[in-house]
Amino acid sequence: MASEKTVYMDHSATTATDPEVVQAMLPWYSQSYGNPSSIYRLAGISRVAIDEARAKVATAIGAKPDEIFFTSGGTESDNWALIGTAFSHKGKGNHIITTAIEHHAILHTCEYLKKQGFDITYLPVDEYGQVRMEDLKAAITDRTILVSVMFANNEIGTIEPVSEIGKLCREQGILFHTDAVQAIGNVPINVATMNIDLLSLSGHKFYGPKGTGALYIRKGIRIDSFLHGGAQEKRKRAGTENVPGIVGLGAAIEKAVRDQDLKTSRIRDLRNRLLERILTEIPNCRLNGHKTERLPGNINICFEFIEGESLLLLLDHAGIAASTGSACSSGSLEPSHVLMAIGVPIEIAHGSLRLTLGIENTEDDINYVSEEIKKAVEKLRSISPLYADYLKKRS
Amino acid sequence: MYSEKVMDHFMNPRNQGEIPDADGVGEVGNPSCGDIMRIFIKVKDNIITDVKFQTFGCGAAIASSSMATELIKGKTLEEAWEMSNKAVVEALEGLPPVKVHCSVLAEDGIHQAINDYRIKQGLSPWEEKAGHAHGHDDESGE
């Protein structure tokens, strides 16, 4: 029998929508359902609701409301930021710089742009997952139009030197986009002081609704429209607005940023205790990513001699929801491109486990999860030929 | 994503372990692909009297090893050689398409163990039939 208990430690995949957020969204379905583009009062209140949400998103990242454009989520924001600026700036050049550890929403968009004639440079990262400024400087040419570097990595949680990158790009007159999907609500962000030109965010990563997101576009930046149709979002992103979703996004980001310090210090503390227990109680494992420049809830760890998908299955059986960078979990032959980029040996990368903690995790969860991981790792090692060889070599 | 049978064999693997004085040992896969299977057989009068496995790999790889070893235990070497990966998949009540290669690995591991036995006995190894597929695709999203 599978466990009745549920411990959710996959907050980087998605989060539960906050009940307060759901409450804020409900009136906008069946009561105040007017199309914001219409002229009667029922429509007018929808328009006001969107404006309020826009102001909340702007405040959360230090932008102005007219710099916020609502989208369907992080993937759309990333696609729009890259494709929209690439085509509108191709008169200046065709070179785009990004990193080897971006989310696929960036990497696959870059592959598409390459087919359209753009040159893409993928910056390497150091062993902790950070971009080196000297690599970025060396990659910039007079044809570079855009630099896209994620704010924080979704797998290993490493926080990139965004302020430094923003400063350099601004000095060089190059657009700087950051995918901040994992960072919102976890790291203080100010697009003005950090010299960010474009920023992607996604509602469901900070207890908001799925299918909601925004792209911040600094005033004055030229960008092509992404969806063509009606006049919504200043003619840049057509389609009737997802009013309940936008209201939910606004409510969620307001709360995420308001409680940020308190919430993150508590989560970081729990995370550190869980990490400490795993590292001290389970032999032959290693932490991936940066020790300090790291998202507060993120643990990414490799257990030698075992494979990640089987570990997830055992944890799932114990009611624990987690994630892995193993190839076997995704059906692809290669393990995580992020673990490869930070130099984790391929056979060890197959044994990675990502735990991402969030607001509902407790001290009890830490004890339970560390015990269950220990049991699961022991069980899988007892089956593993690699572990058998290791024991023989040692004796 | 897995059948109850797969989960049963994954959670409670049969024939897990090592036979120190095995008559034949097969090892297939490699760590960089994320799966390795090692099959140990004990043979008496042309019959597989005991079989054990060690597997590094996903749930389907462990369940395939467990099921495949169950299927060949007590069988003649000829019968064990004829056991196809399809028989393993059927006995497991199906595997997701991307995991079918795990059952192929089990078949290959058993073939290697049998041929290792044959070579040790001074016999010529049996030949593999051509054409079973290993396949993977796509990544998941978040």
3-class secondary structure, A279:
helix
Determine contact: A153 vs chain B, CB below 8 A.
Answer: no
Chains A, B: CB contacts under 8 A, how many? 88
Instruction: With a cut of 70, list the residues of chain A below it in pLDDT.
Output: 1-2, 327-333
Helix A41-61 with A243-258: angle, nearest 10 deg:
30
Last residue of a domain, which of A258, A273, A300? A258
Q: What range defines the domain where residue A342 resides? A: 7-15+260-394
pLDDT bucket at B136, cuts 50 / 70 / 90: very low
Total domains present in chain B: 1
Is residue A123 within 8 A of residue A100, CB to CB? The reply is: yes
Cβ contact A219:A67 at 8 Å: yes
pLDDT value for A329: 57
Name the closest residue on chain B to residue A314, using Cα atoms. B11
Output the pLDDT for position A330: 56
Q: Give how far the C-alpha of residue A393 lies from the chain's centroid of Cα atoms, to the nearest Å.
A: 41
Look at residue A331 in the predicted model and tell me its pLDDT: 56
Note whether A326 contacts B11, CB cutoff 8 Å.
Answer: no
Question: In this model, does residue B140 exceed pLDDT 70?
Answer: no
Could you say which of A258, A275, A303 is where a domain stops? Answer: A258
Check: CB of residue A206 under 8 Å from CB of residue A250: no
* The domain boundary residue, chosen from A237, A258, A279: A258
Give B38's contacts in chain A (Cβ within 8 Å). Answer: 385
pLDDT digits (tens, 9 = 90+) for B49-58: 999 999 999 9
The answer on pLDDT for B33 being more than 90 is no
Q: Which residues contact A303 (CB under 8 A, 6 or more apart)?
A: A282, A284, A285, A311, A351, A352, A353, A377
Please say if the pLDDT value at position B141 is more than 60: no
pLDDT in tens, B75-85: 999 999 999 99
Q: Which residues contact A4 (CB under 8 A, 6 or more apart)?
A: A319
Burial A221-237 (b: 16+ CB within 10 A, else e): bebeebeeeeebbeebb
Cβ atoms of A243 and A59 within 8 Å: the answer is: no
Q: What is the pLDDT of residues A337-376, one digit of tens each?
A: 999 999 999 989 999 999 999 999 999 999 999 999 999 9
The answer to whether residues A174 and A296 belong to one domain is: no
Percent of chain B with pLDDT over 70: 91
B125: number of CA atoms within 13 Å, CB side?
15
Total domains in chain A come to 2
Q: Is A375 on the interface with B (CB under 8 A)?
A: no
Bridge pairing between strands A298-303 and A119-123: unpaired
On whether any CB of chain A is under 8 Å from the CB of B139, the answer is yes
Question: Which of residues 50 through 109 in chain B touch A, CB cutoff 8 A?
Answer: 54-62, 98
Contact list, B139 vs chain A (CB under 8 Å): 104, 330-332
Q: Are residues A222 and A321 in the same domain?
A: no
In a domain, B91, yes or no: yes
Q: Identify whether residues A81 and A214 lie together within a single domain.
A: yes
Does residue A184 sit in the same domain as residue A324? no
The helix/strand/coil state of A345 is coil
Query: What pLDDT score was predicted for residue A4?
Result: 80
Query: What CATH number should be reported for the domain holding residue B57?
Result: 3.90.1010.10
Give every CB contact of residue A154 below 8 A, 6+ residues apart in sequence. A12, A103, A181, A182, B142
Q: How far is B4 from chain A (nearest CA, A)?
A: 11
User: Which residue is closest to A307 within chain B, CA to CA?
Assistant: B57
Any CB–CB contact under 8 A between A321 and chain B? no
**Residue B137 pLDDT > 90:** no
Task: Output the pLDDT for position A304.
Answer: 97
Amino acid B130: pLDDT = 65
Look at the block and give the residue holding tokens 């993120």.
Answer: A298
| Cross-chain residue pair A331–B138, CB shorter than 8 Å | yes
Mean pLDDT value of segment B42-70: 97
Of B71, B102, B113, B114, which one is the catalytic site residue? B102
Hey, of A333, A348, A387, which one would you mutate to test binding to chain B, going by the most B CBs within 10 A of its CB? A333
* Residue A226, Ramachandran bin (φ over 0: left; ψ between -120 and 50: alpha; else beta): alpha
Mean pLDDT across the stretch B14-21?
97
Beta strand extents in B20-84 (DSSP E only): 24-30, 35-44, 47-56
Inter-chain contact B32–A382, Cβ cutoff 8 Å?
Answer: no
Q: How far apart are CA A42 and CA A31, in angstroms?
A: 9
For residue A51, give the H/E element and its range.
Answer: helix A41-61
